[in-house]
């Protein structure tokens, strides 16, 4: 079995030969070493203070770790699709809305972009008790909401007890912190101190405790009006002036399908060594570009300052880099996953009707059928033709950058059409005289494959899946549709056959994917449960996944945790409810005028946005 780290080094070497040397800030291997050490020592009491805190003019400022910059200018980035669905981060279920929510509402803690450690943000420190069941969080004194009110322990307690544990909005976090049947106990110690108590030691909690905080004086009345009102609160028609937030940037303007504009928060709690308040830049703009080709045109015309470079465009970018005003950074393997998923739902809705055509239900729930499709997909061709070789075939539920990657299955298998046909024959499938695949009852095998329109990389992969499965005599109707419509099909109606999409994961904490793998999780895509379902069925391996998820979160020793999460990856690999395709390297182009950059594999290029400045 190939060693994963050797594979990555070979890829980087090939890229060096093909397009000359990338500017790489930490190739990922030292990062993994540091993170492993951090996890092995998880049982020790820790006080996280990697940023210096200076009490100045009544405020506990977070001191910049970057050189002093200058004020002014703006950074223009982009997003694909139709734009945000909400400005309420506690409701968000899509990447764009979540990105905007993260900008508006600061989290208590964040992730160190170099080491992966949990580090202070809105909070200034976290003290973990010797028995690992009590977390004491100390907030920054003097930090304020954008309406001038101070951020206090009352806001943190309200966010956790009323919104998160109260089941408002997206309940993924609440589901993730259910520890042995009990939720954390959260209480105020004093104006700037909050205590969290959990039932038993729980490895992921130090990351989950650091979630964003809501202004209690704004959200209290919203919560009183119920969950339906809460879900609509801070919708995209909200006047930006009415949004009370805490981040380095405030919402200034939203033009549907065009742009989202933020301006600097003049009273943010970060400053440089000369006591200049951060952030430096005046505005941060997200253009809604529709599709990847439009995004590329806008970068080349100078409208965008940052762009994620696709493999097929890389040689072109490298050629232009020598004479242009941007640099390219290779940040290593993508932290997300791209895949196709089958709709295994065999339940009936509240009206007694099946979600999926019963004939297709039989196909999708046949392991031989799913495995045959897996072996029919030519991942190497996707890597070469779609990603221009700047990627790696993916076979695991954990991303290639994950410190929990199961390296025993990471290399997967080669395409094998003959083996795929043999599996289909074992399940009674056969081919008619025209070469079309039929099931044992004579039904022609035909299904719809959906993805989100405008994401040209996924569209290209969808076309290749369609062509690959034609070699098995399967007719695939490939249907790219608007992203929000795709989300509605998955999350609300289960009206789909097979989907091609991606999820952004954490390379540091597998438990963040609980909402995908737990049988009642809100992103359990391949077998979603809905209120009012009849004849609920738990597949045997789903039950095993539930047990693994619970067990992995309670294990504190890193090596033992990894063995547990290796097993969940093996189950997904064997059962194939989701078939993974490939993982691209994260390659980003960014304008030379943007200074104080510190690109890393974990943080990306703009993780320290408050410290970044524009060279005038």
480-534 tens-digit pLDDT: 999 889 988 998 888 999 999 998 778 888 988 888 999 988 889 999 988 878 7
Segment 428-449, tens digit of pLDDT? 999 999 999 999 999 999 999 9
**How confident is residue 312, by pLDDT bands cut at 50, 70 and 90?**
confident
State whether 66 and 208 are in the same domain: yes
State whether 491 and 605 are in the same domain: no
State whether 480 and 610 are in the same domain: no
Q: CB under 8 Å to 553, separation ≥6 — which residues?
A: 179, 202, 203, 204, 511, 514
Six-digit token pair at 520? 């009642």
Burial group, residue 152, by CB count within 10 angstroms (0-12, 13-18, 19+): buried
Q: Is residue 267 part of a domain?
A: no
Determine if the pTM surpasses 0.85: no
Q: Is the pLDDT of residue 173 over 60?
A: yes
At residue 376, φ and ψ (nearest 5 deg) are -85, -20
Q: Is residue 189 part of a domain?
A: yes
DSSP 8-state symbol, 610: T
Q: What is the mean pLDDT of residues 308-335?
A: 90
State whether 526 and 601 are in the same domain: no
State whether 81 and 184 are in the same domain: yes
Segment 389-417, tens digit of pLDDT? 888 999 999 998 888 999 999 999 999 99
From CA 202, how far away is CA 198, in angstroms rounded? Answer: 8
State whether 526 and 610 are in the same domain: no
Segment 94-145, tens digit of pLDDT? 889 999 999 999 999 998 888 888 899 999 999 999 999 999 999 999 999 9
State whether 387 and 521 are in the same domain: yes
Q: Is the pLDDT of residue 166 over 80?
A: yes
Enclosing domain of residue 142:
47-236+593-614
State whether 515 and 600 are in the same domain: no
From CA 461, how far away is CA 311, in angstroms rounded? Answer: 13
From CA 544, how far away is CA 14, in angstroms rounded? Answer: 40
- Our count of domains for the chain comes to 2
State whether 568 and 520 are in the same domain: yes
Q: Write down the pLDDT at residue 311.
A: 83
Q: Is residue 503 part of a domain?
A: yes
State whether 478 and 602 are in the same domain: no
Q: Is residue 258 part of a domain?
A: no
Q: Is residue 489 part of a domain?
A: yes
Q: Is the pLDDT of residue 323 over 60?
A: yes
209: domain CATH number? 3.90.76.10
Q: Is residue 112 part of a domain?
A: yes
Nearest CA among 79, 101, 80, 78 for reference residue 482 = 80
State whether 525 and 604 are in the same domain: no
What b-and-e string marks burial along 341-376, b requiring 16 or more CB atoms within 10 Å of the CB?
bbbbbbbebeeeebbbeeebbbbbbbebbbbbbbbb
State whether 454 and 477 are in the same domain: yes
């Amino acid at each position: 079995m190939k060693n994963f780290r050797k594979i990555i080094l070979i890829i980087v070497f090939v890229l060096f030969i093909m397009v000359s040397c990338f500017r790489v800030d930490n190739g990922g291997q030292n990062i993994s070493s540091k993170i492993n050490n951090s996890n092995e020592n998880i049982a020790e009491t820790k006080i996280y203070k990697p940023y210096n805190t200076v009490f100045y003019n009544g405020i506990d400022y977070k001191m910049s770790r970057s050189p002093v910059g200058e004020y002014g200018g703006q950074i223009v980035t982009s997003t694909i699709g139709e734009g945000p669905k909400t400005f309420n981060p506690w409701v968000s279920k899509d990447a764009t809305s979540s990105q905007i929510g993260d900008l508006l509402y600061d989290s208590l803690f964040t992730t160190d972009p170099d080491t992966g450690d949990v580090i202070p943000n809105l909070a200034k420190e976290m003290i973990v008790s010797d028995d690992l069941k009590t977390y004491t969080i100390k907030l920054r004194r003097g930090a304020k909401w954008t309406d001038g009110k101070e951020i206090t322990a009352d806001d943190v307690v309200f966010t956790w007890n009323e919104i998160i544990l109260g089941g408002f909005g997206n309940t993924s976090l609440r589901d993730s912190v259910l520890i042995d049947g009990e939720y954390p106990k959260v209480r105020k110690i004093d104006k700037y101190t909050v205590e969290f108590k959990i039932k038993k030691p729980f490895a992921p909690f130090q990351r989950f405790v650091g979630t964003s905080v809501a202004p209690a004086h704004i959200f209290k009345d919203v919560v009183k009006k119920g969950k339906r009102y809460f879900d609509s609160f801070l919708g995209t028609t909200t006047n930006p002036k009415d949004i009370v937030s805490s981040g380095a940037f405030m919402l200034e303007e939203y033009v549907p399908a065009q742009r989202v504009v933020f301006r600097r928060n003049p009273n943010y709690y970060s400053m440089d060594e000369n006591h200049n308040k951060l952030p430096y830049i005046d505005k941060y703009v997200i253009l809604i570009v529709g599709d990847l080709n439009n995004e590329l045109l806008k970068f080349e015309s100078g409208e965008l300052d940052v762009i994620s470079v696709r493999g097929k465009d890389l040689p072109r970018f490298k050629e232009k880099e020598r004479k242009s005003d941007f640099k390219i950074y290779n940040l290593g393997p993508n932290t997300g996953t791209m895949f196709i998923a089958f709709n295994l739902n065999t339940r009936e809705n509240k009206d007694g009707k099946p979600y999926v055509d019963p004939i297709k239900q039989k196909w999708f729930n046949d392991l031989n059928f799913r495995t045959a499709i897996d072996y029919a997909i030519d991942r190497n061709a996707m890597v070469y033709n779609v990603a221009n070789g700047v990627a790696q075939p993916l076979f695991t539920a954990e991303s290639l950058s994950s410190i929990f990657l199961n390296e025993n299955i990471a290399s997967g298998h080669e395409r094998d059409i003959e083996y795929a046909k043999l599996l289909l024959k074992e399940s009674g499938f056969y081919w008619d005289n025209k070469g079309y695949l039929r099931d044992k009852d004579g039904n022609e095998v035909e299904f719809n494959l959906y993805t989100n329109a405008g994401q040209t990389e996924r569209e290209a992969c969808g076309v290749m899946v369609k062509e690959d499965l034609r070699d098995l005599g399967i007719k695939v109707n490939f249907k790219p549709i608007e992203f929000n419509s795709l989300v509605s099909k998955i999350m609300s109606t289960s009206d789909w056959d097979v989907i091609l999409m991606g999820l952004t994961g954490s390379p540091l904490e597998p438990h963040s994917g609980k909402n995908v793998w737990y049988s009642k999780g809100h992103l359990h895509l391949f077998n979603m449960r809905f209120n009012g379902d009849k004849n609920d069925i738990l597949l045997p391996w789903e039950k095993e996944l539930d047990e693994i998820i619970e067990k992995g979160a309670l294990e504190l020793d890193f090596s033992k945790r990894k063995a547990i999460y290796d097993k969940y990856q093996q189950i997904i690999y064997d059962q194939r409810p989701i078939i993974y395709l490939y993982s691209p390297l994260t390659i980003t182009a960014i304008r030379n005028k943007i200074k104080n950059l510190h690109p890393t594999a974990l943080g990306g290029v703009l993780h320290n946005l408050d410290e970044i400045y524009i060279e005038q």
